[in-house]
Structure formats: structure tokens, C-alpha cells
Amino acid sequence: MKLTFWGATRQVTGSMYLLELDDEFKILIDCGRNMGREVDYTQPVTNKAFFPFEASQVNLVLLTHAHIDHSGNIPMLYREGYEGQVLCTSATADLTSLLLYDAANLNLKKVKQAEGDSNKKKKKMDRLLIKGDLYLQKDVEDAMANFVTLQFHRRFRIADNAWVTFIPAGHLLGAAHIIVEVQENGVMKSICFSGDIGRKDYPLHIDPSSEIPEVDYLLCETTYGGRLHEDKKTPEDALAEIIQRTCIDIPGRLIIPAFSIGRTQALLYTLNRLYSEKGFKPIKVFSDSPLAYASTKVYQKNLKQLNKEARDFQEENDSLFDFENLQYIQSEKSSKAISNYAEPCIIISASGMISGGRVEQHIAANINNVYCTILLVGYSSEGTLGWRLMNGQKSLKIKDVEYQVLANVEKIDIFSGHGDQADLLNFVKKQSPKKLKKVFLIHGEEESMNTFKDLLENEGFANIEIPEMGQEYIL
Ligand SMILES: [Zn+2]
């Protein structure tokens, strides 16, 4: 069989791997959006396919988890003629549906804006649609109609000679490592696709499974392959300390850019615990993202898949996320009105990397305010506003306006959903260096991949590959 790396190669986003069995059965593992991909409007219109392979020839899609950099291009597959199923866990299907419809709505907004605008812009948008770079609601409907859900730990036959098993990966509700087993020429070969690897004791999410079968080939994510998480405090203590300093000791305002799915729920749940168990002063909290609101409902619905602490908390308090002074914001008008709220408050809004979304507006409105603190709680891709703030830039351009950064910028990594270097090492060490034929490092920046590769070699693992985009391996 042949494995081709079509994304998240020497970068973090755009996960997509094509596994072609000897009998030509083709399996696509994840189909994520490359977040750094800019559309080049200057290029002439072409009918070039969106994918570097024939979408209609793929037989099956396996999805590790809902995050858009793993699921975001699935509707494009259907647009380009794919007719098969997408296998994932039920919680992943629920969350992916929210994310993809949200993305389609954003696309529709762009199209509408362009239609009402100058002819030049309309042409650009036509070009995008012709090239197939944008998908709309119909494509998402086609995709979601073909999602088939599997439980964790069930070995499921996907072809005469191939099986899959989903194993809990922590990281996000429903997230899985995927084990693919293939029998060819009388030999059974196995591959583990790590997806994103979570961390222990994360708010709400179960711990990554400690039981990973020994496989022949391992694809391991390396988002934090180069470093250890620094925070040793609990999430409650870390958040309490910052809120005390930024909203209670001074009449300030705390803005937390956060992904709508996963990160926002972890923050709201932690605030709920702080307020209800520790008697913390209930500062006003705005959760400004309709997608986050919808996701909290999915979390609430999938209680059984959350960790024990969360289930116990639910039992005692009847809700994971609703607490005094929490306000979910739906309309754009209400979002803008937050600027007029004069009391200290916490604003949690997307996108997490500050690359679009309502949080951009909040940052623009407060970046000159010395009483404002922007708290970065997750990974930001190079070039995003989150990344610029993280790297201490003193001025920022937001929607073509240049702003001086007078607000305080802080970061904590206790809410990062990814395991750090030690967690990743533990994950690989579940494998036997003797059985393992190759380790492929994916989903990380090149520097952290190289650091992690050295570490693995010191631990006795050989044949570690850092694939390039489009690189093929015969397994
Ligand atoms: Zn993820």
C-alpha cells in the first residue's frame, strides 16, 4: 500500500493523508483546511481541481476529530464528486456539522458581499466559485448526509482486507486516534494516525487513552514537539489569578480569544467551577460566538463522553456552563454593544488565533486601552494576529487600520488542548522500537519536528521521517 502526505507537512494545519491499498481501495484520513492558505486573486481562472488527487476515486474518509484544520475541506470532496462515507465518532459528527455549516455561512456572506459590491469584486468571487475554493450549505448537506458514526474501541471492517478502530485521544470531545489494519499478501500491517493528542486532566475532556496497540507505522502530531507546557497551576488557579489582577484589582477588561469548539467550553466550565465552588466574585462574562453557544449544547448532550469530574459537577450543579453573570451573545449588534459595557468584564470570543471572527472587533476596540488585557490561551499560526501579539509586536494592522498595542498581552498554556513534548514522547513510547518500522512526524513546525526527532532517536527509535507535501511512501 502507499501513503501520501497531502497536508500538515512541516506545518500545523491542513491534515490530509491518502492511503491507497494494493487493490486500489483508497482511504483519506482527515480532510482539513490549511489555515495559512491565501487565495491568490491575481491568478487567471483555471478549472484546476481543488485536491491533488481525484476526489471521486476515494472510497472512504476517516475523520480523527472535528477541528476545521482536520475536517474543513470535507464539503469540497463532495463538490468534486466524492460519494462515499465519512467515518468518525458521534460527537465528532455533531461538532463537525456545526463547524462546516458555520464555514458555509461565512462563505455565503463573502459571496453576498461581493455581489452587492463593485463588478471587480464580483469577478473575484466568481473566480473563487469556479475554482471551487468556496463551498456552500448544499455541499455541507451532501457531506453530513454521509457521516457514519462508530464507537470507540470497536474494530470495524471497512473493506475485505481492512479494519479501523477509534481510540480516545483526549484533545476534544469525540477526538480519536485511528488505527488502520490492512492485510496484504498474507501479511497484516497496521498504522496509527494520531490525530491531535490531548493532555491529562484537561477540563471536561477525557484523558488520552493509555492503551494504544503496537503498530508498524505511526503518524505522530508534533504541535508542541519542541517544548514543555510551562504552567504548573490548575486551570482554576491560573484563571483566578489573572481575573483577580485584571478585572478585580483594577476596573479592567479581559479579552480571551478562544476557539468556539473545545477551548471556549473549557474556559466557561472552569469559570463556572470558580464561581460555584470557590465563591469567586462573579465578574460579567460575555461568550460572544453563536458557534460556541451551539457547541456548549453538544457538550451538554454528550455528557457520557466527558471526564468524571465534569459528570460529577453536572450531577451536583445541573449544568456545566450556565452561571450567574454569563451572557451568550448571538447577534452582531449585541456583539458591538459590548463596547458600551462600562463595568469590568471578561469577553471570550473567536477566532482563537485572532484570524477573523468577532474577536478581531473586540481587539480593535480595546487595543489602545491600558486597562485591557488580552489573554492568549492557545497555539497561533505564524502570521495571524494572535501570533503577532504573542511575539510582542507593538503595533498591529486590523482590517487595514494600524493600532498601537497599549493593552497588556499575557499568555498561559494551561488551556492548550495539545499535549506537550513529554506527552508526545509518552505517546510514541507506547510503541516497541523493534516492531515500529517508521515514525512520521506531522502537524508541527519544522523546528519542533527536528527537536522531537532528535529526542526520539535518543530514546532508541529509528527511521523517523519528516515528510514533505506530496511525499509518498510504500508501506
Ligand atoms: Zn485539533
CA of 13 to the centre of ligand 1 (A): 9
pLDDT of residue 36: 66
CA of 442 to the centre of ligand 1 (A): 13
User: CB under 8 Å, gap of 24 or more: what pairs does 103-109 form?
Assistant: 103/68, 103/72, 103/75, 103/135, 103/140, 104/75, 104/135, 104/136, 104/137, 104/139, 104/140, 105/137, 107/134, 107/135, 107/136, 108/136, 108/137
Q: Please report, rounded to a whole number, the percentage of residues in the chain having pLDDT higher than 70.
A: 96
Per-residue confidence at 383, pLDDT binned at 50, 70, 90? confident
Residue the block writes with cell 453563536: 290
CA of 346 to the centre of ligand 1 (A): 25
Q: Are 14 and 162 within one domain? A: yes
CA of 172 to the centre of ligand 1 (A): 7
Q: Domain end: 389, 411, 433, which one?
A: 411
CA of 377 to the centre of ligand 1 (A): 14
CA of 371 to the centre of ligand 1 (A): 33
CA of 146 to the centre of ligand 1 (A): 22
Q: Are 301 and 286 within one domain? A: yes
Q: Are 219 and 241 within one domain? A: no
pLDDT of residue 149: 98
Q: Which three cell numbers stand for residue 294?
A: 451551539
CA of 262 to the centre of ligand 1 (A): 9
Q: Please report, rounded to a whole number, the percentage of residues in the chain having pLDDT higher than 90.
A: 80
Q: Using CB atoms within 10 A of its CB, is residue 95 exposed (0-12), middle (13-18) or buried (19+)?
A: buried
Q: What is the CATH number of the domain that holds 319?
A: 3.40.50.10890
Question: What are phi and psi for residue 58, nearest 5 degrees?
Answer: -75, 140
* Residue 286 lies in domain: 235-411
* pLDDT tens readout for residues 215-263: 999 999 999 999 898 878 999 999 999 999 999 999 999 999 999 999 9
CA of 196 to the centre of ligand 1 (A): 5
Q: Which of 38-42, 379-383, 430-434, 455-459 has the lowest mean pLDDT?
A: 38-42
Task: Name the residue among 57, 58, 50 with its Cα closest to residue 129.
Answer: 50
CA of 195 to the centre of ligand 1 (A): 7
Q: Which three cell numbers stand for residue 399?
A: 482590517
pLDDT of residue 274: 92
pLDDT of residue 313: 96
Q: Are 60 and 92 within one domain? A: yes
pLDDT of residue 49: 77
Q: Domain end: 363, 396, 411, which one?
A: 411
Mean pLDDT of 136-149: 96
pLDDT of residue 126: 75
Q: Are 334 and 444 within one domain? A: no
* Cβ–Cβ under 8 Å, residues 94 and 301: yes
CA of 31 to the centre of ligand 1 (A): 12
CA of 158 to the centre of ligand 1 (A): 24
CA of 46 to the centre of ligand 1 (A): 32
CA of 107 to the centre of ligand 1 (A): 22
pLDDT of residue 324: 87
CA of 117 to the centre of ligand 1 (A): 36
CA of 279 to the centre of ligand 1 (A): 33
Residue 373 has pLDDT above 70, yes or no: yes
CA of 88 to the centre of ligand 1 (A): 14
CA of 71 to the centre of ligand 1 (A): 10
Per-residue confidence at 278, pLDDT binned at 50, 70, 90? confident
Which amino acid appears at position 261 of this protein?
I
Q: Are 277 and 303 within one domain? A: yes
Number of domains present in the structure of the chain: 2
pLDDT of residue 131: 66
Residue 381 has pLDDT above 90, yes or no: no
Residue 335 has pLDDT above 90, yes or no: yes
Per-residue confidence at 115, pLDDT binned at 50, 70, 90? confident
CA of 445 to the centre of ligand 1 (A): 15
Residue 42 has pLDDT above 70, yes or no: no
CA of 269 to the centre of ligand 1 (A): 19
CA of 278 to the centre of ligand 1 (A): 31
Q: Are 341 and 464 within one domain? A: no
Pairwise CA distance, residues 263 & 259, whole Å: 5
CA of 82 to the centre of ligand 1 (A): 24
Q: Domain end: 411, 439, 454, which one?
A: 411
Q: Are 130 and 52 within one domain? A: yes
Q: Are 19 and 162 within one domain? A: yes
Q: Are 251 and 172 within one domain? A: no
Pairwise CA distance, residues 422 & 289, whole Å: 33
CA of 33 to the centre of ligand 1 (A): 12
Q: What is the CATH number of the domain that holds 464?
A: 3.60.15.10
CA of 123 to the centre of ligand 1 (A): 35
Mean pLDDT of 286-301: 96
Residue 379 has pLDDT above 90, yes or no: no
CA of 109 to the centre of ligand 1 (A): 26
pLDDT of residue 277: 85
- Of residues 473 and 276, which shows the higher confidence score? 473
Q: Are 298 and 436 within one domain? A: no
What does pLDDT average to over the chain?
92
CA of 387 to the centre of ligand 1 (A): 18
Q: Are 60 and 171 within one domain? A: yes
pLDDT of residue 282: 83
